[in-house]
Amino acid sequence: MSAKYVVGIDLGTTNSCLAYAPLNIDDEIAPVDLFAIPQLINRGEIGEEPLLPSSLYLPQETEFAPGSNPLPWNPSPTMITGVYAQKRGVEVPGRLITSAKSWLCFAGIDRNAALLPANAAEGIAKISPVAASRQYLEHLRHAWEHVHPDAPLAQQQVLITVPASFDAVARDLTLEAARTAGYGEVVLLEEPQAAFYAWLERHPDWRNRVHSGDLILVVDIGGGTTDFTLITVTDKGGNLELERVAVGEHILLGGDNIDLALAKSVEQDLAARNIKLDAMQLHVLWQRCRAAKEKLLAEGATATEEAVTILGRGTGLIGGTIKAKLKRETIDHLLSDGFLPETSSDDLPVKSKRSGLQEVGLPYASDAAIPKHLAKFLRQPSAVNIRRTPSGLAAPTHVLFNGGVLRAPLVRGRLMQILNDWLTAENTPECAVLEGEDLMHAVARGAAYYGQARQGRGIRIRGGVPRTYYIGIESAMPAVPGFRPPVKALVVAPFGMEEGTSVPVAASEFGLVVGEPAEFRFFASSIRKKDAPGEMIELVGDELEELSPIEVWMEHADKQVQAGVVRVTLESVVTETGVLELWCVSRDGQRWKLEFNVRERVQ
């Protein structure tokens, strides 16, 4: 069965979303629609929502009567996903999993280990970040197929978005989660690029809104993370093109931090009234403050305070409802002085001295000042040939916002004020906001649009590799005591090779060592920009920089085959997330993969 739809999935830290477009419109961009996701919204009650909260609740075996929380595709789910999971988790926080994606990208843990919920009491069964991600994807697949039984997701063109800074392991684990959740072949796409694709989809007249030489800053601040990306507008033969030129690091700093800070502020007010909260009550207060903050910062909101209530412990006065208030002035003060303080563009994030022993947890940003992280990103030297101030600060002409935190006009306005203050201080024109964004659904919408653009139906953001890449080929020669055979350099990815494309490297065959550890050497050059795939550099000189070698054990499909050399041809693929995959293909069709990142990003 051929694909009927292109489907974009935002597997978010705080919320997940699905958008889609039909594939049966000849040579035209089809409109992208949001998918209303069936899910439990209360005990035993199903509703359809445009977002699936990335919340997973693990109930006790006897917590709910059998069949009391049926889904259309599962009469007795063992886990609860989405809105009701979020609500129930506020009441029983030790059984709630959130921020699974942040754990998935944390290289300091075994991401396949059962360690979530991180705050679970002793004896509560846990699952891994990969399993939690699989659960969200499974829910989305079942929900989609319940509504579209004639279009199973395994047979559609599916794109799943990931942070631009995901490492190779996190990307592979995302693909593994999708595969085990019943998906077919999946393409990964960066979230900031997807957000910009969504803006393109909503503005077919984009060429009238941006011009050659413009520099667009994408600011994505979600519930748990902050990401930055730079995109340039260039003129190629009279046609405007877009090119992604810089990607920032994945910063664990977002709405969750703000909500916790507000909860701590309310906790101090309660302490002044001689009311002390335990860890579980503070967690509930954290969630209550999130809801109150969203009301107070909503577009057009006029209220100056919101009530927050939590249940007490025990009996009597302490066991009753605890009431407090979150004031708008508290939010304003916290944002202006803590998360969005006035800084100069030379103020970079400060790393605090860490305690020698810590709880196992996520590597949160130690400096909560978002402008400092933005300054660090805009001062990175890797992005070349872009607009800069006299001091070297990248100078955007436009800003595109994405993420739930930026729904608040206060936050958007504050960031624009700080950024334009930096530009004005260096006699550089101010930047403007790209209006018409879709802050909560843009990533999924943009992924669905990009799925069409891959087929030539829409504009694509270029992001060619910034250098020419080579693999070392050991020369065949007799052994000489004290000397290693010389290495030649074979071009495997030419300068500017587009992401999402592939090339055969050469018709010649090479010998691949299998069945034993082997070292692969890679080289890169920012000088040799005209070398073509398959071209062999006989003498490796100063024009080539050697990269860190990769040691890999390549297994033969036939386990009986001992260590040896297999004759292979080579194919190169640069993925949408900036990974160079070098495939070694034997005569009988076996395939082995080497990969490394060709992205330039902030360190």
Greater model confidence, 494 or 299: 494
**Half-sphere exposure in the Cβ direction for 126 (13 Å, CA):** 20
- Where does 250-368 show beta strands of DSSP type E? 305-311, 321-327
Residue 601 has pLDDT above 50, yes or no: no
What was the pLDDT predicted at 569? Answer: 93
Residue 602 has pLDDT above 50, yes or no: no
What was the pLDDT predicted at 359? Answer: 53
Name which of 395, 401, 485 is nearest 431 in CA terms. 395
CATH topology of domain 210-351+363-435: Nucleotidyltransferase; domain 5 (3.30.420)
**Half-sphere exposure in the Cβ direction for 12 (13 Å, CA):** 34
- pLDDT one-digit tens code per residue, 115-168: 898 878 788 889 999 999 999 999 999 999 999 999 999 999 999 999 877 777
What was the pLDDT predicted at 246? Answer: 86
What was the pLDDT predicted at 250? Answer: 76
Residue with tokens 């340039």: 232
What number of H helices and E strands is found in the chain?
Answer: 12, 30
Phi-psi region at 415: left, alpha or beta (left = phi > 0; alpha = psi -120 to 50): alpha
Q: Where are the domains of the chain?
A: 5-189, 210-351+363-435, 468-597
Where do the H-state alpha helices sit in 315-473? 316-319, 328-334, 370-378, 409-425, 442-453
Dihedrals phi, psi of 281, to nearest 5 degrees: -65, -40
- pLDDT one-digit tens code per residue, 422-439: 999 999 999 999 988 888
Contact criterion met (CB below 8 Å) for 368 and 237:
no
Greater model confidence, 208 or 107: 208
Q: Which of 59-73, 404-418, 539-553 has the lowest mean pLDDT?
A: 539-553
Structure tokens at 556: 């033969």
What was the pLDDT predicted at 319? Answer: 53
Residue 576 has pLDDT above 90, yes or no: no
Name the helix (H) or strand (E) containing 263: helix 255-272
Dihedrals phi, psi of 558, to nearest 5 degrees: -90, 105
Residue 317 has pLDDT above 50, yes or no: no
Task: Let me know how long the chain is.
Answer: 603
In the chain, the N- to C-terminal Cα span, in Å, equals: 45
| CB neighbourhood size of 419 (10 A) | 23
Name the helix (H) or strand (E) containing 171: helix 168-180
Kindly indicate the confidence band of residue 42, based on its pLDDT and cuts at 50, 70 and 90.
very high
Average pLDDT, the chain: 88
Give the 3-state secondary structure percentages of the chain, helix then strand then coil, rounded to 5: 25, 30, 45
Name which of 578, 519, 599, 598 is nearest 554 in CA terms. 519
What was the pLDDT predicted at 357? Answer: 54
What was the pLDDT predicted at 387? Answer: 93
Torsion, CA 59, CA 63, CA 69, CA 74, rounded to 10: 60
CA distances from residue 80 to 75, 351, 401 in whole angstroms, order as listed? 12, 38, 31
Q: Is the Cα dihedral 363, 364, 367, 369 positive or negative? A: positive
What was the pLDDT predicted at 599? Answer: 63
Q: How far is CA 98 from the centre of its chain?
A: 15
Residue 477 has pLDDT above 70, yes or no: no
β-pairing verdict for 522-525 and 468-474: antiparallel
Q: Which of 198-202, 225-229, 472-476 has the lowest mean pLDDT?
A: 472-476
**Half-sphere exposure in the Cβ direction for 603 (13 Å, CA):** 4
Structure tokens at 180: 């085990």
What was the pLDDT predicted at 316? Answer: 46
Dihedrals phi, psi of 504, to nearest 5 degrees: -75, 135
Name which of 297, 278, 275 is nearest 286 in CA terms. 278
- pLDDT one-digit tens code per residue, 14-24: 899 999 999 87
Phi-psi region at 82: left, alpha or beta (left = phi > 0; alpha = psi -120 to 50): left
What was the pLDDT predicted at 360? Answer: 53
- pLDDT one-digit tens code per residue, 269-294: 999 999 898 877 887 888 888 889 88
3-state secondary structure at position 260 = helix
CA distances from residue 364 to 82, 216, 354, 356 in whole angstroms, order as listed? 24, 27, 12, 16
Residue 462 has pLDDT above 80, yes or no: no
| R_g (Cα) of the chain, nearest Å | 26
Kindly indicate the confidence band of residue 442, based on its pLDDT and cuts at 50, 70 and 90.
very high
Dihedrals phi, psi of 446, to nearest 5 degrees: -65, -35
Global pTM? 0.82
Kindly indicate the confidence band of residue 210, based on its pLDDT and cuts at 50, 70 and 90.
very high
Residue 297 has pLDDT above 80, yes or no: yes
Phi-psi region at 589: left, alpha or beta (left = phi > 0; alpha = psi -120 to 50): left
AA identity, residue 475: S
Residue 484 has pLDDT above 80, yes or no: no
- pLDDT one-digit tens code per residue, 340-359: 999 999 999 987 665 555 45
Q: Do domains 5-189 and 210-351+363-435 have the same CATH topology?
A: yes
3-state secondary structure at position 368 = coil
Residue 11 has pLDDT above 90, yes or no: yes
CA distance 24 to 27: 9
Phi-psi region at 263: left, alpha or beta (left = phi > 0; alpha = psi -120 to 50): alpha
Q: Which of 80-94, 233-247, 578-592 has the lowest mean pLDDT?
A: 233-247
Kindly indicate the confidence band of residue 402, based on its pLDDT and cuts at 50, 70 and 90.
very high
Contact criterion met (CB below 8 Å) for 522 and 468:
no
CA diameter of the chain = 89
What was the pLDDT predicted at 230? Answer: 92
Name the helix (H) or strand (E) containing 511: strand 501-514
CA distances from residue 166 to 101, 133, 171, 172 in whole angstroms, order as listed? 10, 15, 6, 10
Dihedrals phi, psi of 215, to nearest 5 degrees: -125, 120
CA distance 286 to 99: 15
Exposed / middle / buried, residue 157 (Cβ in 10 Å: 0-12, 13-18, 19+):
buried
CATH number of 5-189: 3.30.420.40
CA distance 453 to 462: 12
